Amino acid sequence: MSQPSSELMIEARAVEKWYPNGFQALRGASLTVRRGEVVVIMGPSGSGKSTFIRTFNALEDFQKGSITVDGIVLSNDLRNIDAIRREVGMVFQQFNLFPHLSVLDNLTLAPVLVRKRPKAEVEKQARALLERVGIAEQAGKYPGQLSGGQQQRVAIARALCMEPRILLFDEPTSALDPEMVREVLEVMQDLAADDITMVVVTHEVKFARHVAHRVVLMADGEVVEEAEPEVFFTNPSHERTRRFLDQIL
Amino acid sequence: MNALLRRLRAELFATPADGALSVALIMLLSLGAFGFLRWALTQAQWAVVKVNSTLFAVGRYPIEQQWRLWLLTALLVAASGATWGLLRAHPRPDRTGVLWPRNDRLALVLLALIALALPSALGLTLAIQTRWWGLLLLLALCRWLAGRFGANLSSTGRRLAALVWPLLYLVGMVLISGGLGLVTVSPSEWGGLLLTLLASSFAILLCFPIGVLLALGRRSELPLLRWGSVLYIEFIRGAPLITLLFLGQNILGFLLPGGLAPERVWRAAWVLTFFAAAYLAEAVRSGLAAVPRGQLEAARSLGLSYPKALQHVVLPQALRVALPAMVGQFISLLQDTTLLSLIGLLELLGTARTVMANPAFLGRNGEVYLTLAVLFWGCCAALGLSSRALERRLDPHAVPSAT
C-alpha cells in the first residue's frame, strides 16, 4: 500500500448544514484527507455521511464552516465549483450511468466536453480503463444491458476517465446483489494501490480493515472517531464507536 | 396449410363461446365491408375526386409554376430514400441489422402498387402518371444506393447528411413561395394538401424548441421565468384554438415585428405554433420529471455545466420519454389545421368545401369526406409509424432489432 504524502487534498472545518425543512444534517463535521490517502467513513444511517462527502464537490451546499479541496476554497462562485468538480470524481450508490449512451460514450462524454480533449485519444484511454476494471468487451453495450456490478465498474471507469485527483464513493456497493459486491471492491482496492485520494462511505468492514489508511465514524452529523483501521476496529476510544461496531460486527 | 388451420382454430374457436363470438364478429365485419364496398363501387361517383385531384393536392397553385412542386417532391423522395437506406446501413452499434428486412420489402411493394394504380385510377394524363413512376424509381434507387454504399460513411458524414433535411425545408420554402429569381406565388394561392402540410410542418418544427424552452422555464428556479411560463401555458391551454385563430387574424399583426406576419396564412401558422407549444411544453415537462435526479448530479459531478448537462444528459432522456406524447400533439396539430378553413383558408377541408359547393358535384359529400379522411389518416400514420421506429431506435433496453 502506498503511503499518503503530507499534502492536504481535502480540508473540511466545522461544516454545518441545514436542509430547507429545518433539519440539521451536519453539526460541525471536520475532516482532513491527505494526498494519496484512502479514508473510509462509516456510521449509522442518517448520520450525515453521504451529505458530508457530497459537500466536497458541491452537490450539497452548506451554511457554516469551510471546505478546501485541492487548494481551492469552496464558495458559491460557479466557476470555482466547476473547477473543483473537474478534479473530484464521484461514484454513486445507484451508479447513475447515462442510459442513453453506450458504455464507451459514458466514459468519453465529459473528457471531450469539459476537458476539450480529442475524441480519438479519449476513446483509447477509455478502452484502457474498461480493460482495467475488467469489462473491455462491453464497450459497445448500453448500461441497461449490464449487471449491477458491471455498471458500477463502468461508473468507476467513467469517473477515472476525467483523471480526477480525488475520488468520492457514496456507498458504492449498497445497491448491489451480494455476489457482485466483491468485483467492485476489488476494483476499488486496485485503485487504492495507486496514489489517488479516495474517500469512501461504505459498510464493508473488510474493505475498511484492509484498504483504508484511516477509518472515520460519523454520528448525528459529526465526526466522532478517527483512527487507523486496526485501532478503530479493535480498540476504539469512544463509546459511540463501540456501540456501532457491536451492531455491525 | 394444416398449421394455419390449427392456428385459426386455437385463436378463434378455442371454446364454444369463443367460436360463437368469432362467428358473430366475422359476420358483422363482412356485413360492414360488403356494404362499404357496394357503396364505393356501385353508388359512389368518384368523378368529383378525379376532376379535382389537383385542387385537393395543391389548391390554386398556378399551373405553369407547378414544376417547382414536382421538383420539391422529387427532392423529398430522394432524401427519404437515402435516409431510409442510411438508417438500415447503420443499425445501432449494439444491435445487428438487416439491410432489407421483410417490412421494408413489403413497404416498397405497397408503395409501388399505389404509385402504379392510383394515378391511373384518378385518370391522370400519361405524362403525369410516368412522373409518379419516376418518383417511385427514384425512391427505390436512393434507398438501394444508400443501403449499398452508406455503410462506408463516417459518423461525421452521417451527421452532415442529416443536415440535408433542414436545408431541404428552406429550399422547399423558396420553391413554394418564390424568390431568388423564381416568380413569387403568394400564400393566398396555396391550398389543399400543400397548405395543410406546410402549415402543420411549420408549426411542428417551431413549436418544438418553444415548447422545450417553456418546459424548462416552468421548472426554472427564477420566479419571473417560472411564472411567465406557467401563465403562458395555462392561458393558451384554457382558450379554444378557434378563438385564438380569430384573435390572431386581428391582433397578431401588432404583436410580431413587421414583415413576419403579413399574410393571413402565416398569421394562422404562427397561432398554431404558439398554441401547440403550450401543449408540447406539458409533454416535455412530464419527460423531464421522469429523469432521475441522479442523472443531473452525475453529469454535474463530472464537471459538465448546467446547460451542457441538460443538452447531453437530461434532455435526450426526457425527450425520449416524452416522444409518444409529443407525437400525439403533432398528430392533433395536423388535424387542427382543418380549423383554418373556418378563417377562410383553403387547406384540405376548405378546398373540399369549395368543391362540394360546386353545383356540378352536389350530393357527393361522402366521396369527398372519405378522400379527406384517407389523406389525413395517411399523414398521421406516417407520423405515428416513424415515431415508433424512432422510439425503438432510442430505447436503451430494447432487444436486437427484428428482421
**pLDDT-wise least confident of A204-208, B8-12, B116-120, B239-243:** B8-12
Could you tell me the pLDDT band of residue B398, with boundaries at 50, 70 and 90? low
Q: What is the rounded CA–CA span in Å between residue A142 and residue B214?
A: 31
Chain A residues with CB inside 8 Å of B316's CB?
A: 100
Q: Quote the minimal CA–CA distance from B394 to chain A in Å.
A: 7
Mutate to test the interface with B, among A94, A119, A146 (most CBs of B within 10 A): A94
Tens of pLDDT along A187-236? 898 888 887 899 999 998 989 998 999 999 999 999 999 999 999 999 88
The whole-angstrom separation of Cα A110 and Cα B301 is 10
Residues of B in Cβ contact (< 8 Å) with A89: 301-302
Cβ of B303 within 8 Å of Cβ of A85? The answer is yes
pLDDT of residue B397: 64
Pick A110's closest partner by Cβ from B292, B295, B303.
B303
- Whole-prediction pTM value? 0.82
| DSSP structural state of residue A235 | S
Query: Looking at the partner chain, which of A92, A142, A145 has a beta carbon nearest the beta carbon of B298?
Result: A92
B394 CB neighbours in chain A (<8 A) are 100
- In this prediction, residue B13 carries a pLDDT of 80
Cβ-based contacts of A199 with chain B (< 8 Å): none
| Residues on chain A touching B398 (C-beta within 8 angstroms) | none
Closest to A100 (Cβ–Cβ): which among B302, B305, B317?
Answer: B317
Residue pLDDT, tens place only, B171-212:
888 888 887 777 888 787 888 888 899 899 999 999 999 999
Q: Does domain A8-93+167-248 have CATH number 3.40.50.10470?
A: no
A164 touches B: beta carbon within 8 Å: no
Q: Taking CB atoms and an 8 Å limit, are B298 and A96 in contact across chains?
A: yes
Give the mean pLDDT of B222-231: 91
> Which residues on chain A are in Cβ contact (under 8 Å) with B292?
94, 96
Q: What local confidence, expressed as pLDDT, does residue B257 receive?
A: 62
CB pairs < 8 Å spanning A and B = 72
Contact state of B303 with A82 under an 8 Å Cβ cutoff: yes
Confidence category of residue B69, pLDDT binned at 50, 70, 90: confident
**Min CA distance, B316 vs chain A (Å)?**
7
Q: CB A114 to CB B317 under 8 A?
A: no
Across the range B215-222, mean pLDDT stands at 89
A175/chain B closest Cα distance in angstroms:
14
**SS3 for chain B, per residue?**
CHHHHHHHHHHHCCCHHHHHHHHHHHHHHHHHHHHHHHHHHHHCCCHHHHHHHHHHHHCCCCHHHHHHHHHHHHHHHHHHHHHHHHHHHCCCCCCCCCCCCHHHHHHHHHHHHHHHHHHHHCCCCHHHHHHHHHHHHHHHHHHHHHHHHHHHCCHHHHHHHHCHHHHHHHHHHHHHHCECCECCCCHHHCCHHHHHHHHHHHHHHHHHHHHHHHHHHHCCCCHHHHHHHHHHHHHHHHCCHHHHHHHHHHHHHHHCCCCCCCCHHHHHHHHHHHHHHHHHHHHHHHHHHHCCHHHHHHHHHCCCCHHHHHHHHHHHHHHHHHHHHHHHHHHHHHHHHHHHHHHCCCEHHHHHHHHHHCHHHCCCHHHHHHHHHHHHHHHHHHHHHHHHHHHHHHCCCCCCCCC
CB contact under 8 A, A142 and B396: yes
Q: Which residues of A touch B295 (CB under 8 A)?
A: 96, 98
Nearest neighbour of A94 by CB, restricted to B294, B305, B396: B294
Does the beta-carbon distance from A94 to B292 stay under 8 Å? yes
| pLDDT for res A103 | 92
Nearest chain A residue (CA) to B399 = A145
B-facing residues of A in 9-48 (CB < 8 A) are none
Task: Find the mean pLDDT for residues A87-92.
Answer: 92
B152 vs A239: which has the higher pLDDT: A239
ipTM of the complex: 0.89
Instruction: Residue B298: list chain A partners with CB under 8 A.
Output: 90, 92, 96-98
User: Predicted confidence band at A76 (pLDDT cuts at 50, 70, 90)?
Assistant: low
Q: What percent of chain B stands above pLDDT 70?
A: 95
pLDDT at B232: 93
Chain B residues closer than 8 Å to A94 by CB: 292, 294
- Provide the residue ranges of all domains of chain A, joining segments of one domain with +: 8-93+167-248
Tell me, yes or no, if A73 comes closer than 8 A to chain B by beta carbon: no
> Which residue of B297, B302, B320, B399 is the best one to mutate when testing the A interface, meaning the one whose CB has the most A CBs within 10 A?
B302
Residues of chain A found within 8 Å of residue B399, distances taken between Cβ atoms: none
**pLDDT tens-digit profile of B93-151?**
667 778 888 888 898 899 889 888 888 888 788 888 888 899 999 999 999 888 888 88
